[in-house]
Amino acid sequence: MNKKAFIYVDGIKAPINGERNLLEVIRKANIDIPTFCYHSELSVYGACRMCMVDVEGQGLMASCSVAPQPDMKVKTNTAEIRELRKIAVELLLANHEKSCPTCKRSATCKLQDLGRKLGIDKVRFKPINKQQPLEDASQVLVRDPNKCILCGDCVRMCAEVQGIGAIDFAYRGHDVAVLPAFGKSLDKVECVFCGQCARVCPTGALTAKSHVQEVWKALDDKNKKVVVQIAPAVRVAIGEMFGKEPGTVSTGQIVSALKILGFDRVYDTCFAADLTVIEEGSEFIRRVTQDGALPQFTSCCPGWVKFVEQYYPEYLDNLSTCRSPQQMFGSLAKKILPDDLNVAPKDLVVVSIMPCTAKKFEAARPEFLRDEIPDVDYVLTTQELGQMIESSGINFVNLQPESLDLPLGFKTGAGVIFGNTGGVSEAVLRFLNEKLTGNTQDNFEFTEVRGTEGIREAQVTFDGKTYSLAVVHGLGNARKLIENIKNGSCRYDLIEVMSCPGGCIGGAGQPISFDSDTREKRTKALYEADKMLQLHKSQENPYIKKCYDTHLGEVGGAVAHHLLHTHYKSRKRIHDADLSLMASKEAQQLEIRVCVGTSCYLRGSQDLLHALLCDIHHSDLKDKVDVKATFCFEKCSQGPVVRIGDKLVTSATLEKVKEEIESQLRKRQ
């Protein structure tokens, strides 16, 4: 029998149960050692040194990067440790933006919290950093470099969990900074706007861009009718902002608060989620029976959709053409509510309450504009709604619950579980189970697609045929899965992808939480909310049936396709980022731009570029052409792509490029 191992923390015996480091063991012993750069879901970085402990016989060590050994004797609160932590925080505060009362992260700022806990009442050091400009060009995220403490949490989240690397460290020594690629703004690089960088940022260096003032303005306009939809994951999280336990379902209080705030109608995105199940499930059946592109990927998550557009445009045909529930709701609302509410279409304002920052980007996509009017006018995160409620003086906890408005407020349990990873798959399976077998089924749960693993696989059999599914959350995992599909090591029929860990319940717009159990509690609450409803399958929603009969016609038909479906296209990863490869001498040189983005690179653009430069160097063309490398012409499936003057050469070879160069130079002469 193996003897249980222990360490001694400030004289307290603490068991070792497979923890990665001393920090985790110590925290389980109910001693909360402070950290900036440590997150259980990220790699160990050890940069902030806030978690220093004194190990007997070894001296001061960073507890996050030291493995626990049996019988270690650890001190966490010596005079030396307290002074080192205090100095570390003071040095950070010396160069930190002094706008704490007005900072969005004031209530959840780790720097402010540690300053208070360590008893810092003055900063002994002078600032040496110069004020940097605020970056707010993106419609989704705001980056304030003056609040960055260089902990690297955002960098590791973007690279390790999301597999993107849109933000990283730049420069060295005193000049080191965290920046998007080429020093551009976040809306000009390959950021997918998932906002997970902002979620893990311990200060206010990265935050979601607020649309609260625009919504207040709409609510104050007497000529406007303002309606709002509530996403599934919002109802199990917003209570945390008012002291409630994570996972508390607060739908009724949300409705009551929104009506006090002045919204004319309060609806449920779960209604549109039921609609999505019908359309997406029917699309899957058509693909299976008519040799369509498989696997079919879900398209509910805008961060995931942008990820495919940027990195895997060859799989765009595999994305479901269904709009997300948010956009289905907006499209349907703009069609049917003006008559119901007796308002001109231009005076109907649709607001979304979402757990996700990428929904702000999605609502602004040109695909979802009709006559220059967006289907969804404004997107508020769960945090922003909480802010509006607080600023209005509403006592949220003591509100009497009210009912959602009909018809767009009625939903089944299938729509509710959309907020969890695996929820979209399970909801679609509940539809397919009856549609493919032709029989009504009493059992509605498909627990095989539930779980917390980053990549989960399942198989289901309907009417004698077996279908393979995969459920993925976190874009780094999505990249692994797609690469496995490309190399032929696996195949699937249906794949659900969500950008955020845990799905929408872990979205960056949710209340900030440093408790590792929070996502689990929110997830559990949505499944319990499903069980508490009388209807659990989207096809059972009577208002969905009525909507088709009255407004949409046939499932997947012309009207439904126009209102509920869309299309996507290859997207540039980096905007306006040409790399000069030759010294430009004449203003009238012929411009040659060679794409070196991933898709073109894999098709040989790097070799083509090298061969072209060598050829030009050994010819009389050096003074006649200007060659630069660029990143995308949005023709990824036709690479290598080269632009010569105003003409694009696809599937380019050295011979084709030389021929076009000579042709254009002859025309110039």
The residues carrying an active-site annotation are 280, 283, 300, 320, 359, 362, 367, 504
Q: What is the DSSP string of 194-260?
A: --HHHHH-SSSSEEEPP-HHHHHHHHH-TT-EEEEEE-GGGGGTGGGGGTPPTT---HHHHHHHHHH
Q: Phi and psi at residue 568, in whole multiples of 5°?
A: -130, 165
Pairwise CA distance, residues 180 & 602, whole Å: 24
* Token pair belonging to 22: 């001393």
Pairwise CA distance, residues 149 & 666, whole Å: 57
Q: What is the DSSP string of 59-112?
A: EEEEGGGS---TT-EEES--HHHHHHHHHHHHHHHHTS-S-GGG-TTGGG-HHH
Q: Phi and psi at residue 322, in whole multiples of 5°?
A: -65, 140
Dihedral sign for Cα atoms in the order 239, 245, 247, 248: negative
Pairwise CA distance, residues 296 & 495, whole Å: 6
Q: What is the DSSP string of 368-413?
A: GEETTEESS-EEEEHHHHHHHHHHTT--GGGPPP-PPPSSTT---H
For residue 625, count other CB atoms closer than 10 A to its CB.
Answer: 21
- CA dist list (Å): 285 to 281, 318, 415, 466: 6, 14, 20, 13
Contact predicate 317/515, CB 8 Å: no
Number of H helices, E strands in the chain: 21, 24
442, 417, 441: which is closest to 498 by C-alpha?
417
Contact predicate 24/15, CB 8 Å: no
Contact predicate 300/418, CB 8 Å: yes
Task: Spell 286-312 as b/e; 16+ CB within 10 A means b.
Answer: ebbeeeeebbbbbbbbbbbbbbbbbbb
Contact predicate 162/499, CB 8 Å: yes
Exposed/middle/buried for residue 639 (C-beta within 10 Å: 0-12, 13-18, 19+): buried
Angle at CA of residue 228, ends 386 and 230, nearest 5°: 60
* Token pair belonging to 518: 């929070």
355 upstream amide cis, omega within 30 of 0: no
Exposed/middle/buried for residue 190 (C-beta within 10 Å: 0-12, 13-18, 19+): buried
Size of the chain, expressed as the number of residues it contains: 669
Place of tokens 């998550």: 301
Contact predicate 566/325, CB 8 Å: no
Pairwise CA distance, residues 476 & 286, whole Å: 30
* Token pair belonging to 529: 């909310």
